[in-house]
Amino acid sequence: MDLAILGSGAAFSATGFNAGYLVDAGLLLDCGAPVTGLLPKMGRSVADLETLVISHLHGDHVLNLPILIATRVVQYPNLPRLRLIGPRGTQEHVADLGRLTFGPEFWDDLVAANGPLIEEWEDGRSSKLGGYQLTAYEVVHSERLHCLAFSVEAQGVSLGYSGDTAYCDGIRRLARSVQYLLCECTGWSAPAPIHLWRDEVEELMREAPSTRFILTHLGERRPVPGALLASDGLRLTLRPGARD
């Protein structure tokens, strides 16, 4: 499994673009980063995308969705419809973002022509998506939003993605269930409200010693022993059971 980091920064930090992670060529996790401009730098295109997974509806994870959807429909009108998976509220939120970005008439015409197929998932739902098995884990982040983390499994490799989360049962279950965890680490010197901070990440690492942690959504760039720090443009090949 190939993993490319498009955006590794927290919402208000200067450490990198906002959230965006490409698995192989066709699966995108979150869309806060300027995906349409960054994919070509990875040798990829929006035409390669088949599935888009959204962890939650905060702007640093979704604000580039309308641009991505419109680019795909306008430039590649004959492609199969993009499958978009997210938490409760995704359908309405995508429509609101699209209409705000492009105006209601253009957006509604675009969606009618070849817009995404949107599914709203709950905790525990699992489904086969092409060559991947995707499973949702509810996590605690915002009282106003339904928030999910996910595991992605294919060819003997299991990758978890925390989305944004506080230290909670959902992220603990996910950390123990995967070989690799793309895990947020927003705070460093003190607890970060509604997010994980360094000490909590280290506790997760102790609870899941066989899981390889890749830290992202970074408020600062500081080392955490035993974990890999993500950076924009970083590309990794994930292998079954590998620890390096």
Q: pLDDT, tens digit, for every residue of 146-159? A: 999 999 999 999 99
Residue 71 lies in a domain: yes
Residue 137 lies in a domain: yes
At 125, phi and psi to the nearest 5?
A: -70, 140
Residue 244 lies in a domain: no
Beta strands in the chain (DSSP E): 2-7, 20-23, 27-29, 51-53, 83-86, 117-120, 126-129, 132-139, 147-154, 157-161, 180-184, 212-216, 228-229, 235-237
Instruction: Give the HSE-up count for residue 237: Cα atoms under 13 Å, Cβ half-sphere.
Output: 1
The pLDDT-based confidence of 201 (bands split at 50, 70, 90) is very high
Instruction: Indicate the number of domains in the chain.
Output: 1
Residue 53 lies in a domain: yes
pLDDT > 50? residue 216? yes
Q: Residues of the chain with pLDDT > 90: what percent?
A: 96
Residue 229 lies in a domain: yes
Residue 243 lies in a domain: no
Domain that holds residue 90: 2-237
Residue 140 lies in a domain: yes
At 156, phi and psi to the nearest 5?
A: 80, 5
How confident is the model over 96-138, as pLDDT tens digits?
999 999 999 999 999 999 999 999 999 999 999 989 999 999 9
CB 240 within 8 A of CB 208: no
Domain harbouring 16, CATH code: 3.60.15.10
- For 34, the token pair is 């300027």
Is the full-model pTM beyond 0.85? Answer: yes
222 three-state secondary structure? coil
CB 28 within 8 A of CB 67: no
Q: How far is CA 100 from CA 31, 75, 95, 106, 107, in A?
A: 17, 21, 8, 11, 9
Residue 242 lies in a domain: no
